[in-house]
Structure formats: structure tokens, C-alpha cells
Structure 1
């Protein structure tokens, strides 16, 4: 059955993404320890993020049958060094049932991050953070605060897939219409991608304007912004 096959492909892709990210997490660990600061500027830190999982899954699914994809519940390296990928989406039914043409679904994959050979990191975490005054933090475009959590809900914009036919009536959180992204918006697409607090629509979920929204920075460089009230003290 088509529906079950799509679910199987999504779960397999999500599991592969979590396996990859559990290994790529070591890049972030090295970054946080100050052993690979140059990687923040080259974008290597973005490997440990939702954009990678999204691209991994979207490369496997039938986009005509999978809609309204969200990774908003996903969490990376927040609790006991775990990778938690949660994909919420709607899947098209082969025929309408009681007036429903699609149903909501959720796929989950979780595993512990690979952190190399440095033993006892959890026990030493508090001490290490106290000693490291130039830790890596995260800021968004037009930032007013820095964040210790790259997926803080004040920082993270939940990218949503919408039908192109909806764009004329769709509004963001400020009540504004979405305009075409200057980088990818000129391409033709039936499915577009928007963020609730953004004001542009994208034809690709991997548009550089999206992936560049959050970047890693040294605390010493952005400390003047002040810590986020939600995640800054964690």
C-alpha cells in the first residue's frame, strides 16, 4: 500500500539522518571545546542541525503525497547528548474518507550522540562550561540576544511546506504577505516553504537564506547582546 510504503521510507530516512548526526555531533563538540573554531565560519556546524535531517528525508519521499512537514519538536544535544528527530506531516490518502483527503502522522528517531573518546564528559560538563569563557553560542539574523541552544523556540523558525496556490491568502505572524526570496523565489514550484516569523517564501527548503538564518558565534564576540531569557542560562 502506498501509504505504508511512504511511512517506511520516511522512518528509514529519519533513522539514517539520526545515525549521521550522532557522528557529526563530534564536530559540534570539538567546536564547543575551542578545538575547531574555524568551522563555525565555514558552516560545518550546520551539519548538526535540522536542515540536514530535512534534506535527508525530503530526498526520499514522494512530495506529491507528503505535505505540511515540520521538525519543530526535534531536539539535538539538549538532554544527555541525545539526537531526537521528530517529523510531523500530513500524508495524502488514496481516496477521501469521511471528507478527509489527508491524515496527520508523526515519525520519531532518537539515539545518543557520538562524542569520541573523551570519557566522562557528562560528569565534567558543568566544570568545562565554567572554565570555558569563550563558549560557542547561537544568534539569528538581526539578533538581539544570544542563545546557548541552537533550537531555542525564540530563535528557531519552524519551516513549513505549503501549496503555491495558498500564497496569495497566506500571512505571517505580523499579518504581512510573503514575498519571493531573492535567492530561490524565481524558480517554479508547486510547493513553497515559509517561516511564521519570516516574510519570504522559498522554492527550496535548502535555500541558503534559510540555512544561514542561525549561525554559531563566540560568546566573547556577541556577549554585548545579552543572554536569551529562556535558554541563555542553561
Structure 2
């Protein structure tokens, strides 16, 4: 069973593509006239030139909007495409779910003629996010175990790395999307949309969430992090990895 067969049942409630992140992805893809989206989920950040979406979870495929690119069940490690059959291969916040990252990267290179674009994160930055460091350290271990080191991606693909700052009103509810809206993390629907929190489990998160609630009520959070409230965007560690083939 694909992980999102269970975690993805409420995915579209909080995970709506943010136009500013989408613009970064589109710029990285450049003039690619045909794109395969690998680990496509519900189709967030797919450009109009997407010719195929590959996704292991039927739960996620079922939530793709009308008019989205055709989707097939499959995994990154065995893409159902011929060699050099698309201009670009796209993978958005999915590497950490792959069974064999190196096999998946080799498949991206095999099917793409010109470019590979990956949206991922730098765990050395993300683990310092105030939510994790101060309240939910239990969730750090999940991402420590599954995050793919950026250096490995750069070396394997011969890629460059671009910072993707998170807007303060980001509409895509990935883990750090609510960095300036701390009360959002008290919402179980928000937590269900962030796989790292969902996989950690509510029982493990409960004490830290209670501390966060208390700090928001007392004003302690605002005393420590009030400077964040003046920022329009923030570097939470999200990165675009772009390889020209």
C-alpha cells in the first residue's frame, strides 16, 4: 500500500499549490515542451506541458482535478516511458517517499532529454524550524531518516540548487508553510496534510502541541518569535535542484 493511501485522504483540504512556489518551479522547467511528473500526487505544480503523471497511490490519483494530465499508477524506480521521451522530468516533494532514491534519480535522467527538476528540502535547515526544535522534536527523527542530502543530489545529477522561500501566507500546507501562523499547527487537518507530522503520530505530538497552545495563550511564542511577524517570506530550507542533461 502506498503511504498516501492513508495519509492522503484529506490532502486537498490543505495542500493547494502556491502560485509563488509554482512560479519558481515553472522557471526551473524553462521551455520544456513535454514534462513527466514523478510522484505526482494530486498534480500540484504540474505545468500545462505535462504529458504524464506517475503516482503510486490511487487515493491521490482520485483527487486530481478535472483536466489534469493523464495519470498512471507507478513508481519513480520504474517509469513507464522510453529513454529520452520527454523534455523534462519533475519531482515535487516526493524523493523522501521513494524506496530506492538512486534508482529513481537514474530513471529521471533516463527519460528526460534536457532537464531534471526536483523540489525537496535541506534537512540541516529544516530541523532548526521553531516548530520542530522547540515543540515537536519527535518529528525531526522522521525527516532525519528519510531526507535525501542535497550534496548527494548535486553530485549524482550534476545539479545546481536554488532557494525557495516560503511566503507568509503560503497556500500549500507542507510542514513549514505556517511558519508565521503558529496557531495553524493546532489544527489536526493541517497536521494530517504534512506527512512528517502525520507519520510521527498524534500521541507523540500531543505534549509539544500542548506547550505550543500554552505559549500562544500566554504570549511566550510571540516574545520569542515576534520578529517573524515582520517578514513576508522566510527560508525554511526548501530547495529546487535543477540538472541540465
TM-score (norm 2): 0.25
Q: Highest relative contact order (Cα 8 Å, sep 6+), 1 or 2?
A: 2
Q: Higher helix fraction: Structure 1 or Structure 2?
A: 2
